[in-house]
Amino acid sequence: MKRIIIICEGQTEQEFCNDVLQPHFNRLEIYLENPVVKKTQGGIVNWEALKFQVETLLKKDKTAIVTILIDYYGIHKHHKYPNWEEAKNINDKNDAMQLMEAGMLNDITSDLQNRFIPYIQLHEFEGLLFSDLKVFDDNFENKEFLNYDYLVATIRDFSNPEMINDGSETAPSKRLSNIIRGYSKVIYGSLIAEEIGLLKIRERCPRFNEWITKLENV
């Protein structure tokens, strides 16, 4: 059985891998291992620390593929990710993410690069949760919504949920906090994603779909 190690930014992404991705990859006879970022035990970390974790895993298991699942929203200048400065000034954020991912790949020791698949979630994992309004309608009571109209407007305005922006008050997680009473990403993140289903998320989120396709074809 093939093995893919997904270094997850935190517990929410880890549970998403367990609950949503692993059943799909089981059918392809691909086993997923999903540790969190080691230095912070969950949370964004500087590139050098993440690079060290990636290379350590690649050296330890010479057959495994290593990838990452981290949010662009949490990456800042002081984290020193390759090509971050250049990417910040690119209007098309898909191109910006490709530039950063290429920089990360090129910064990995050359003989390990063929088993590393860099991936940055644009803009935030929670963006994926805006892929299907019906899931919110079916799983939440009216009294649990703080602002249902804001939910509807967000899904209407962003045909691609990955494009929901990275503003301090309008990032996906911030929106959800203003939509669902007592929203907690750890409690709700994987549960909502599981209800939506991998197929629907892939249909609505092209960058995410491209990453999953790469993993399917390792």
Q: What is the pLDDT of residues 44-99, one digit of tens each?
A: 999 999 999 999 999 999 999 999 999 999 999 999 999 999 999 999 999 999 99
Structure confidence at residue 185 (pLDDT): 87
Structure confidence at residue 217 (pLDDT): 97
CA nearest neighbour of 24 among 200, 145, 146: 200
Q: How many CB atoms lie within 10 A of CB 59?
A: 11
HSE-CB at 96 with a 13 A cutoff on CA atoms is 18
Structure confidence at residue 127 (pLDDT): 97
Query: pLDDT exceeding 90 applies to what percent of the chain?
Result: 94
| Distance between CA atoms of residues 208 and 196, nearest Å | 14
Structure confidence at residue 196 (pLDDT): 98
Amino acid at site 95: D
pTM, rounded to two decimals = 0.95
| Residue 142, pLDDT above cutoff 90 | yes
Structure confidence at residue 42 (pLDDT): 86
Contacts of 157 (CB under 8 A, 6+ apart): none
Report which of residues 180 and 1 the model is more confident about: 180
Question: HEC profile for the chain?
Answer: CEEEEEEECCHHHHHHHHHHHHHHHHCCCEEEECCECCCCCCCCCCHHHHHHHHHHHHHHCCCCEEEEEEEHHHCCHHHCCCCHHHHHCCCCHHHHHHHHHHHHHHHCCHHHHHHEECCEECCCHHHHHHHCHHHHHHHCCHHHECCHHHHHHHHHHCCCHHHCCCCCCCCHHHHHHHHECCCCHHHHHHHHHHHHCHHHHHHHCHHHHHHHHHHHCC
| Residue 161, pLDDT above cutoff 90 | yes
Structure confidence at residue 168 (pLDDT): 86
pLDDT, averaged across the chain: 96
Question: How sure is the predictor about 211, in pLDDT bands with cuts at 50, 70 and 90?
Answer: very high
| Residue 194, pLDDT above cutoff 90 | yes
Structural domains in the chain? 2-123+199-216 (3.40.50), 125-187 (no CATH)
What are 20-30's pLDDT values in tens digits?
999 999 999 99
